Amino acid sequence: MNVSETSRRPLALGAAALTGVVLWSWPAAMAATPRHALAIGAFMIVSWATQALDPAVTGLIGCYLFWALHVVAFPIAFGGFADSSTWFIFAAMLIGEMVAVTPLPRRLAFGILQLTGATYARVLAGVILADLALTFFVPSGVARVVVLAPVAIGLVEAFGLGAGSRVGRGLFVAMIYASTIFDKMILGGAAAITAKSAMEQTGHVQVLWSRWAIACAPALLLTVVITWWLTLRLFPPEIAELPGGRAFLRDSFRAMGSWSRTEKRVAALLLLALGLWSTDFWHHLSPAIVGIGVGLAAFLPGIGALDGQDLRRTNLTPVIFVGCAISMGNVLSSAGALADATAALAHGVAPLVHGLGTGSVVLYLSACVYHLLIGNEIAMIATSMPAMMHIAQDRGLDPFAVGVIWTLGSGGKLFLYQSTVLIVGHAYGYFDRRDLLKIGAWLTLAEAVVVLALSAVYWPLIGLG
């Protein structure tokens, strides 16, 4: 932590605490219980937005205050930890650990790169496609960045270049930014899972993995093409073709050797999970049931992909954070504080939404603006999705479609603070904040057009909206 961040955090924490204290004691017509719930919720939101504390720590403090200050009972204050979406995040962590202990991600990445080719344009396409392919098996954007970053660094060095080169900036920015978008288009990332929970609880709509994937399928393909095209124009290469050509890619792939037994078993488990997720319209098994089952299967004798040490190394802070974010929504709803907050947000957005044609662009861009205020995308979804569900109900719109659009809007990012994936990717030193702002601005606008095409052309064809 640098000096400026060390000095900034106490100020941010003070601002969050002051916001909570003022709302707690504010003389208003609102009853004490909803006012107190809103005060603690405001403390959590400001702390999340300013990154005063680790998001999971902020969440636990908020849930503790809900309980300790007698705003709600313990089962409600920590109720998010009994929600299947929280445990779906835990499943994603286990699956990420399971994959990371094998060469499978690198094998997949270099396998795709062999098919795409050795020019910069083809290598860039291969990296983006590898990122997309891994999204189905590694639901964590951070985990995918950690897996793909060494591949990207090796490719940059193979071009004879280094950090700060246009090739390096292009590969890293495209890979990392695409990760933040893919997580919203496939029901596996933390933001999408948080949205699923809020949509089911507030919008009373069943959210299936398969339905989400079908609804976003064209957007996934368009995002790959748009990200590739924009990166080529914004970061033209110093060297057009990889020295050594396909031989470098072929040799890198061969260096990983033959498949081990563990790798084959992990691949079988991943295919099983993907098969069950994509057919949930038939068997109606919860994605969390499938994910946790597959993750726990990796610990069983005979598979041996994970052991107790791996479980102890698993980063559980995303699980805690999602559980706390869902808990906050439950508390605000239970205490009667959500109605006023929902009305305020809906008052600004609802008059501009008359249907899912141009209204989809309004929703998407509104989500992008709200995400600038609430930096963390999970907190942004948890605090705003109930309002979107009320807008859908009031306007006679499909709550599933509205929820998907709002979730896709959380993928639009301009600054590092808006995503842990961006922060982790930036730490490798291959791009700077200006690079992120440049591609982020163009991709956010491009995705607005994609959302319009989805809602106006594609969704009516599949009976959505």
The pLDDT mean for the chain works out to 85
Highest mean predicted confidence (pLDDT) among 192-201, 241-250, 366-375: 192-201
Tokens of residue 428, six digits: 């490798």
Spatial distance between the Cα atoms of 114 and 245, rounded to a whole number of angstroms: 10
What would the pLDDT profile of 280-311 be if each residue is shown by its tens digit? Answer: 778 878 777 888 898 899 898 887 788 888 88
- Residue 116 has phi, psi (to 5 degrees) of -80, -40
What 3-state DSSP class applies to 241? strand
Res 283: pLDDT:
80
Q: pTM for this structure?
A: 0.73
Tokens of 46: 């400001």
pLDDT at 417: 66
Question: Are 366 and 409 contacting, i.e. CB atoms less than 8 angstroms apart?
Answer: yes
Task: Name, in order, each residue with C-beta under 8 angstroms of 334's C-beta and a sequence gap of 6 or more.
Answer: 37, 72, 76
416-452 burial, b at 16+ Cβ within 10 Å, e below that, comes to bebbbbbebbbebebbeeebbebbbebbbebbbebbb
Give the N- to C-terminal CA distance of the chain in Å, as an integer. Answer: 46
Name residue, tokens 């071009």.
159
Task: Give how far Cα 179 sits from Cα of 138, 184, 242, 265, 413, Å.
Answer: 11, 9, 24, 26, 12
DSSP string, 20-84: HHHHHH---SS-HHHHHHHHHHHHHHHHHHHT-S-HHHHHHHHHHHHHHTTSS-HHHHTGGGGSH
pLDDT on residue 81: 92
Over residues 320-355, the pLDDT tens digits come to 887 888 888 788 878 877 666 666 666 777 677 777
Whole-angstrom distance, CA of residue 173 vs CA of residue 276: 32
Paired residues of 119 in beta bridges = 241
